[in-house]
Amino acid sequence: MAGHKLDEIDRKILSELQADGRMTNVELASRVGISAPPCLRRVRTLEETGYIRGYHADVNPRELGFEVHVFAMVSLKSQAESDLSAFEQRCRDWPLVRECHMLNGEIDFILKCVAPDLSSFQHFLTGELTAADNVASVKTSLVIRCAKDQPGVPFDVLEARIARAG
């Protein structure tokens, strides 16, 4: 990403693709106000420099039978870098763990987990997570409902900050 400064058109491209990653290049070019060939070049550059990490469908977990959503707060016995890295690798290997964030404070990691039912989550919790090397404690919170689940970044906030600075 270093060495590639985003201009207003790049930010518009990112904003549009974040909202709808399936649109055609022609539609994207029209929305950001440039012709298709330079738009495609810009998209490729944004991909190559890491601003665009990939494209995926936003599937509905509950429609697929994943009724249980849980946040697990994990404390480790050791915070040595090798132990932190080992735990992060374990999280990448566990299918029920959809997000893993290292935190500053009393809790070392927060995990976002999904499971088809409580029994499946309990099996993961007791058989995998709490049994993992270096795990000192795990506190869980079951999600009752989700009021907002919006991926990406708020481009309007970014644009307002740029306008104030400029």
100 phi/psi in degrees, rounded to 5: -140, 120
Task: Please report, for the domain that includes residue 76, its CATH number.
Answer: 3.30.70.920
| Residue 159 and residue 117 in contact, taking contact as beta carbons nearer than 8 Å | no
* CA–CA separation, 61 and 58 (whole Å): 9
Looking at the structure, tell me whether residues 74 and 97 fall in a common domain.
yes
Q: What torsion, rounded to 10 degrees, do the Cα atoms 13, 147, 125, 119 define?
A: -120
Task: Please report, for the domain that includes residue 15, its CATH number.
Answer: 1.10.10.10
For residue 3, the model assigns a pLDDT of 52
Q: Is residue 52 part of a domain?
A: yes
* CA–CA separation, 33 and 19 (whole Å): 17
34 phi/psi in degrees, rounded to 5: -135, 170
For residue 1, the model assigns a pLDDT of 42
User: Domain of 18?
Assistant: 8-57
Looking at the structure, tell me whether residues 40 and 98 fall in a common domain.
no
* CA–CA separation, 81 and 152 (whole Å): 28
Q: Is residue 3 part of a domain?
A: no
Looking at the structure, tell me whether residues 72 and 47 fall in a common domain.
no
Looking at the structure, tell me whether residues 134 and 73 fall in a common domain.
yes
pLDDT in tens for each of the 166 residues of the chain? Answer: 445 689 999 999 999 999 999 999 999 999 999 999 999 999 999 999 999 999 999 999 999 999 999 999 999 999 999 999 999 999 999 999 999 999 999 999 999 999 999 999 999 999 999 999 999 999 999 999 999 999 899 988 888 888 888 7
Instruction: Record the tokens describing residue 55, joined without a space.
Output: 């494209």
Give the chain's domain count: 2
* CA–CA separation, 103 and 96 (whole Å): 20
Closest Cα partner for 109 from 86, 138, 70, 82?
138
Q: 18: Cβ–Cβ under 8 A, 6 or more apart, which residues?
A: 151, 152, 153, 155
Model pLDDT for residues 11-22, shown as the tens digit of each residue? 999 999 999 999
Q: Is residue 122 part of a domain?
A: yes
Q: Is residue 41 part of a domain?
A: yes
- Total residues found in the chain within this entry: 166
* CA–CA separation, 158 and 166 (whole Å): 12
In what helix (H) or strand (E) does residue 85 lie, and over which residues does it extend? helix 81-93
Q: Is residue 2 part of a domain?
A: no
Looking at the structure, tell me whether residues 72 and 92 fall in a common domain.
yes
